Structure 1
Amino acid sequence: MNDEGLVYVSLAQLMALEFKARDLSFLARQPQGSILAGNHASRLRGRGLNFDELRRYQPGDDLRHLDWRASLRTGKPVVRTFTEERDRPALIVVDQRMSMFFGSQRSFKSAVAAELAALAAWMVFHAGDRVGGLVFNDQRIDSIAPLRSRKRVEALLSRVVQQNRALNAGNPDAEDEDQLDKALQRCLGVAGHDHLICIVSDFAGAGERTLQLMRQLSAHNDVIALQVYDPLALKLPNNGRLLVTQGELQVELAIEKRNVHQPLGDFLSGRLKDVATLLRRSQVPLMMISTAEDAHGQLRAELGKSAGGAR
């Protein structure tokens, strides 16, 4: 598993995903069955409208825009006109902690997260909105202010690649278990309101504080969570040996043994379900992305944009 894009990503690889992002949209009307369909997020807010001016009514104007007070005052029908906001800021929050440096089949979680971040950034850019983000690992949080510029997309993806390439099995264990919450807190400080916030993470270490921060973020912004998981968390193989790495320590487990297989499987699947349940409690739309399949294909299906327009 040394191929580019399976363990590590390159800037050229992430920049090239611009083409694949062209058939994706966070703002399209979602068909029934899509992750963004339903009462709480049938579609994202999209851009808002700014009041422009009052003017005389003209045939064909939307009667809902009649300003009754101004009409009564002038004795003639007057309508309010609006202009659409030119763009809005988006923050792509990307997890590159050591918990992401794992993969049992096709790719590492860290590499899939990088690809998802790139696809999201290009989607936002092609929608005409400003792109920025936060990239965090166990030691630091890099912040890139939103701007509608191809160079800004490249700057964001460069930070993702930089942190992705710094991941190594020999890295020390995380000393700060609250780094996810710190990244969300930083995001809360950057995003006032009407931002699109896309959080790409395995959400390891998520707890009640995470839930609180997610709710705060989603109160005035559109928030989407992409939970990257490894299929090993859903189903352990029945036989063979599993190599578990923690820093410099490596332990080989004989997973065909019941006393190993059962508790390990229960722990992994239980942890994944706990985090997914927590995220759903936040009322934030949740997409679960596996490391075993192509990131673009999964995102396309989750957004309800697969062939025929429905899943």
Structure 2
Amino acid sequence: MSNLFSPHSNGVDLNLDELLYYRNQSVQWLPPAKSLWSQMLGHHQSRQLGRGMDFSESRQYQAGDDIRAIDWRVTARTGKAHTKLFSEEREKPLVLFLDLSPSMVFGSNLMLKSVLMAHMASLIAWLTVAQQDRVGAVIDTGTELIELKPMGRNKGPLVILQRLVEVHARILNRPRETETHSFQPALSALRRLTPKGGEIVFISDFIRLTDHEQHALSQLKQHNSVRFVHVSDPLEFGATAYRGYEKISDGSRTQWLDFSSKKTRQQIEVAFNNKLQGLKTLAQKTGISFCALSSDRLLLNQISG
């Protein structure tokens, strides 16, 4: 299994070499090979990352045309049936939402959630530019936003990964913030950065996301393809062999929990599952695809199979 892990990673610190490792790994999900998203979602087929069909023009209806493609506006204006023609748009910029808020800088087993997030971000970024698309990012620390406009070729991923490494190191060496902003500023930034028809991928534990953001998410989904990649740690749902008292924080509140108590562990699991189900329901309402990763397993072990 260890050969699926970047040889430069220790699970806590981030460095550029460990993220560059995923450049070569991305080839597994390039056409005609299997799709990354179909693999994660358990489907046999999925739209290629960053590809779609764009309206090109209308022409007069011809026998055999799909009636579902009739352009009713032009038909009404001219009095003659017209059909919409579509062409494959070769470039669909992708923008990553990368969560580096305090709750993400946590891990009870193999690695920090923030490290797993960075590995996934690297894989998606290299896969995107390999398909001749541009990739950008919004890095959200919970107190500040770093906006990186979509760029192509090697420059796109390299700029994102270098900033991730720099910001992650800074966060590890500073006191934890007690107050963080909501997802709202990031949603506004994503709306500015992502061209119409582009793709947005959120990689986060979504602890700061509330139902108040549903309208803004729906607006994003109107013009873009949106995906949620949920990152969690086993301790967050009470799965741990530790038996004793431990001080736990979600980034805003801190309390002592007794992990020797089965009731406490069950309460933690119930609270986690309720939050997770709420997130899945929100994604379903807004038409956003959902998949999950756990920080106690290597990334490629979770998406290869």
Superposition TM-score, scaled by structure 2 size: 0.76
2:281 matches 1:277: no
1:1-311 matches, within 5 Å, as 4-24=9-29, 35=41, 37=43, 43=47, 46-49=51-54, 51=56, 83-168=87-172, 171-178=175-182, 180-237=183-240, 239-241=242-244, 243-244=246-247, 253-256=257-260, 258=261, 261-263=262-264, 265-267=266-268, 269-283=270-284, 284-300=288-304, 306=305
Distance of 2:177 and 2:295 partners within structure 1 = 22
Q: Answer whether contact 2:197 2:223 (CA < 8 A) is retained.
A: yes
Q: CA offsets per residue over residues 97-123 of structure 1, 9 Å max, x none?
A: 111111111111010001011111111
Q: Answer whether contact 1:95 1:201 (CA < 8 A) is retained.
A: yes
Deviation at 1:51, TM superposition (A): 2.6
Deviation at 1:53, TM superposition (A): 9.6
Deviation at 1:6, TM superposition (A): 0.4
Q: Answer whether contact 2:237 2:272 (CA < 8 A) is retained.
A: no
Return the letter of the residue paired with 1:267: I
Deviation at 1:33, TM superposition (A): 8.7
**Which region of structure 1 is more displaced relative to structure 2, 168-177 or 212-221?**
168-177
Once the two structures are aligned, what percentage of the paired residues are identical? Answer: 19
Q: Secondary structure at the match of 1:22?
A: helix
Return the letter of the residue paired with 1:139: T
Q: CA offsets per residue over residues 226-262 of structure 1, 9 Å max, x none?
A: 1000012233336523543659x99875421x3xx52
Q: Answer whether contact 1:233 1:269 (CA < 8 A) is retained.
A: no
Q: Answer whether contact 1:26 1:123 (CA < 8 A) is retained.
A: no
Deviation at 1:64, TM superposition (A): 5.6
Distance of 1:67 and 1:211 partners within structure 2 = 33
Q: CA offsets per residue over residues 60-118 of structure 1, 9 Å max, x none?
A: xx96699999xxx9xxxxx9976532311100110011111111111110100010111
Distance of 2:164 and 2:270 partners within structure 1 = 28
Q: Secondary structure at the match of 1:200?
A: strand
Pick closer, same or farther for the CA change 1:35–1:48 going to 2, 3 Å.
Answer: same
Q: Secondary structure at the match of 2:189?
A: helix
Distance of 2:171 and 2:279 partners within structure 1 = 27
Show structure 2 runs of 5+ residues with no match: 1-7
Q: Answer whether contact 2:237 2:268 (CA < 8 A) is retained.
A: no
Return the letter of the residue paired with 1:188: R
Show structure 1 runs of 5+ residues with no match: 74-78, 301-305, 307-311
Q: Answer whether contact 1:36 1:43 (CA < 8 A) is retained.
A: no
Higher-Rg structure is 1
Return the letter of the residue paired with 1:95: D
Deviation at 1:50, TM superposition (A): 5.3
Q: Secondary structure at the match of 1:92?
A: strand
Q: Secondary structure at the match of 2:167?
A: helix
**Which region of structure 1 is more displaced relative to structure 2, 43-52 or 269-278?**
43-52
Q: CA offsets per residue over residues 202-244 of structure 1, 9 Å max, x none?
A: 0012211233332222222111111000012233336523543
Aligned residues: 282
**Which region of structure 1 is more displaced relative to structure 2, 85-94 or 275-284?**
275-284
